[in-house]
Structure 1
Amino acid sequence: MHGDTEEGAGEHSANNVTPLISTDPHAAYEHLREQAPACPIRSIEGSLMWIVARHDGVRSVLGDARFANNPASVPGGKAPQLQANAMRRLGLDEELIPYLADTLLDSDGKDHNRLRRLVTPAFSARKVKALGPRIECLTDDLIDALPQHAGGGVTDLLEHFAYPLPINVIGELVGVPAADLPAWLRWTNDLSFNQQALGQTLRPLVDYTYDLVRHRYDEPGEDLISELIQARDADGDRLSERELVTMVLSLVIAGHDTTANFIANSIWALLTHPEQLALLRADPGLMPQAVQELLRWCGPVLVSRMRYATEDVDLGWGTFQAGDAVTVALSGGNHDPRRFTDPGRLDITRQHDTRGEVHLSFGAGPHYCLGAALARHEAEIALSRLLARHPDLALAVPAEQLQWHAVSGMRKLATLPVRL
């Protein structure tokens, strides 16, 4: 990137804030956001990358087709293979890397459009609405069981509510047998928290998914895998077996982890802001609006996947060179005072001057989150029914004693102990 940065923002200054990203990410991205429109920083392997943390800047990068998700889309091999190289350093076999680094999220242009067209119908508003009664049933079953998990009157809502609900929902939607969901939960947790054993975790997960897909080829059911097997685009193209397996893996992993952590973060936010919780209890009809504000204020996904400039790009506030690696801080944009009045304040009655979604927690542009409607619907049901069933719900420890995982790019609680 050339010039057009403010206040002499330098790489050294940006790197000084790196340790803060895992301990206090909102403060870290606030520092970067106020320092310059784009800040240079070094990746773990030493490659130069840029962080954009202002609301307008985030939207402009995510919506600009000149930024690719796949470094292979950059002409001349100018872009660093950051994601694949990171997996190699962790010892992941070369044959397994594509299942995490060659997904819908890593595709561009015609390839991305083709994959997205084939899977989008499964997440239509009609399909999501139809899932409502089943989500309510799964939610009520988990709430019914909460007292059984209480030790000394304390229950971990993360383990016994926030995590199992989305894995059951996406598992049923995709077509994973209920008996296998605990194993899926262990695998996906290991992918997040035990990266040194990445290969040992991913191989059985890939093998299992191949078996599941092949079984649906022989015995189709009423599930997403069966729909994807039958799906064809306007040219009669369909997903290959490897594309199917990769799609199922990415949908299940993405479809439960982020939603689970958003539900947990939302409960924490409401319990630590009693005036907002009181407003919501007094008017349950505020729930859809509250979920949107909670997504802005405490969404678990802090940064986007890396983007790569496919050519020299001038955005007015900065010029990126072909091959530059750029990540956008969704959290920084969601707390940008240039876009939101008093952005650090949680306000479930917050009104915006537009009918569209203003926060950036689901991204923007062509890679806008495929499961956004499903995630919102799950959260609305989960929070509504939990609060209705447990009017005295409260944290079991002081808020400052809660532990957060130091996971790059995510804001995740380690536990959420409550008294029902």
Structure 2
Amino acid sequence: MIGYIARRAFGGGGGGGLSAAKLSLLPESALLPLKRDGLDPVDWLRDHRESGGISRIKLPLGVTVWLVSGYDAAKSVLGATATFSNDFRQLAGAVGFGEDENPGGLGFSDPPDHTRLRRVLTPEFTGRRLSRLVPRVQGIVDEQLDAMAAAAEKGPVDIVAMFALPVPSLSICELLGVPYEDRADFQRLSTARFDLGDGAEASLAAVNDSLPYLRGIVERQRVDPGEGLLGRLVSDHGEEFTDHELAGIADGLLTGGLETTTSTLALGTVILLNHPEYVTMLREDSAAVDPFVEELLRYLSVVQVAFPRFAREDVEVAGQLVKKGDVVIPSLSGANRDATLRAAESAEMEAFDPRRGVVRHLAFGYGIHRCVGAELAKLELRAAFPALVARFPEMRMAEPPADLAYRKYSIVHGLDRLLVDLAP
């Protein structure tokens, strides 16, 4: 994804951000699509969308890069597999990376490689297959709420560290079938991706450390396959994939499903803290949960930009000629605020309105590269928010809103800390 390219080009690290020491190398126009004003994209992105929705981003990568921010244009680019490539090998030559730096996975592959990976993963993420995880995910949520209640006896608790991060991390453990004796290490690696206290390089090192660790789990699954995703892939498709590929699949699920869900849980909690009427709504109406989650995904759009697309041929996008070899980056946070999505009776798309009805947002992408773990993320969010407000209906912020630790210039927008008081 663009975050990978940015980290390689500018020396950034984890947590969805870029190295502060190298930000000065980037022009302001390149950073604005990644900037937020609290929960909202900066006004520049709305102005960009309304003035045509496509412009060049000046990056010192030796390649022409276009930002697309309108819904229709972004959706068309995301869905045009024949016209745009995701294959890292095409991007590598353009920006000077070696083939050995290929991050791999679904996001950086085209058919037929993408088709091969997607074919075996898609059945694992159907509603029917994921339903077996519902009791365990609910149990994880309840366990974390118990831990929060115990910690609250000593003062404010950090929602990010005690709830938003462990819920998806432990849920991914359940999905993959990570043995219980390995889960402490899995949690440590997951948490280290977010720990920027030792600098971005330390966070990136934690990401790099995860692949050998996951390969070790795969090797053990080869000997004794479990009931989780890795065990089933080994049993059903073991001859089709190397240990490196299976570890890459697991790492892709960790990378794609951890930070994004963590950020949505944290930022969604900010919305609830600022709007007690939504707390009441979730407590009193179980039917309100699904539309609340869908609107949260659209409004927050924590993944701000999609994987870069490499034009295979000259093509017109939003009235602009994009030449063969150019890179196009769809802005998901921009597209999901497009006024064309507004239903007649709903609020403006710049506002949060959980009663607006179904909106076909692009928070998970679109087309063959739509996030394979979308239903797992929704399952976690649907379990977490009602349980949180039922357990702590009088939860409130323990720090001034102006002090909230929103990320700056982030690929995945979020909070690194959210202190709350749980006691009445």
TM-score category of the 2 structures, normalised to the smaller one: 0.7 to 0.9
Relative to structure 1, the CA distance from residue 312 to residue 194 in structure 2 (aligned partners, 3 Å threshold; closer, same or farther) is farther
- Which residue of 67, 70, 74 corresponds with 2:84? 67
Post-superposition offset of 1:142: 0.5
Relative to structure 1, the CA distance from residue 262 to residue 106 in structure 2 (aligned partners, 3 Å threshold; closer, same or farther) is same
Maintained 8 Å contact 2:52/2:318: no
* Aligned length in residues: 385
- Which residue of 118, 122, 133 corresponds with 2:120? 118
Residue 30 (1) aligns with residue 36 (2): no
Maintained 8 Å contact 1:71/1:80: no
Other structure's SS at 1:228 match: helix
Residue 56 (1) aligns with residue 58 (2): no
Post-superposition offset of 1:194: 4.5
Distance of 2:382 and 2:307 partners within structure 1? 26
- Which residue of 161, 167, 170 corresponds with 1:168? 170
Post-superposition offset of 1:370: 0.4
Post-superposition offset of 1:152: 5.3
Query: Deviation per CA, 1:175-205, whole angstroms, max 9, x where unpaired?
Result: 2232322222234336999443467434432
Where has structure 1 moved over 6 Å in runs of 4 or more?
none
Query: 2:95 corresponds to which residue?
Result: 81
Relative to structure 1, the CA distance from residue 171 to residue 344 in structure 2 (aligned partners, 3 Å threshold; closer, same or farther) is same
Maintained 8 Å contact 1:73/1:108: no
Maintained 8 Å contact 2:87/2:109: yes
In structure 2, list runs of 5 or more residues that go unmatched: 1-25
Maintained 8 Å contact 2:61/2:94: no
Post-superposition offset of 1:265: 1.1
Larger deviation, residues 143-152 vs 154-163: 143-152
Query: 2:254 corresponds to which residue?
Result: 252
Query: 1:8 corresponds to which residue?
Result: none
Relative to structure 1, the CA distance from residue 58 to residue 151 in structure 2 (aligned partners, 3 Å threshold; closer, same or farther) is farther
Query: 2:233 corresponds to which residue?
Result: 228
AA at the equivalent of 1:68: S
Post-superposition offset of 1:368: 0.5
Distance of 2:409 and 2:221 partners within structure 1? 35
Other structure's SS at 1:391 match: coil
Query: Deviation per CA, 1:349-397, whole angstroms, max 9, x where unpaired?
Result: 1124xxxx51111111110010111100100100011111111112222
Relative to structure 1, the CA distance from residue 16 to residue 73 in structure 2 (aligned partners, 3 Å threshold; closer, same or farther) is closer
Percent identity over the alignment? 32
Post-superposition offset of 1:266: 0.8
AA at the equivalent of 2:109: S
- TM-score, length-scaled by structure 2: 0.84
AA at the equivalent of 2:234: I
Relative to structure 1, the CA distance from residue 106 to residue 268 in structure 2 (aligned partners, 3 Å threshold; closer, same or farther) is same
Residue 184 (1) aligns with residue 189 (2): yes
Maintained 8 Å contact 2:30/2:58: no
Distance of 1:160 and 1:41 partners within structure 2? 38
AA at the equivalent of 1:37: G
- TM-score, length-scaled by structure 1: 0.85
Query: 1:205 corresponds to which residue?
Result: 210
Relative to structure 1, the CA distance from residue 168 to residue 64 in structure 2 (aligned partners, 3 Å threshold; closer, same or farther) is same
Post-superposition offset of 1:73: 4.7
AA at the equivalent of 1:42: K
Post-superposition offset of 1:216: 0.8
Larger deviation, residues 134-143 vs 204-213: 204-213
Query: 1:109 corresponds to which residue?
Result: 111
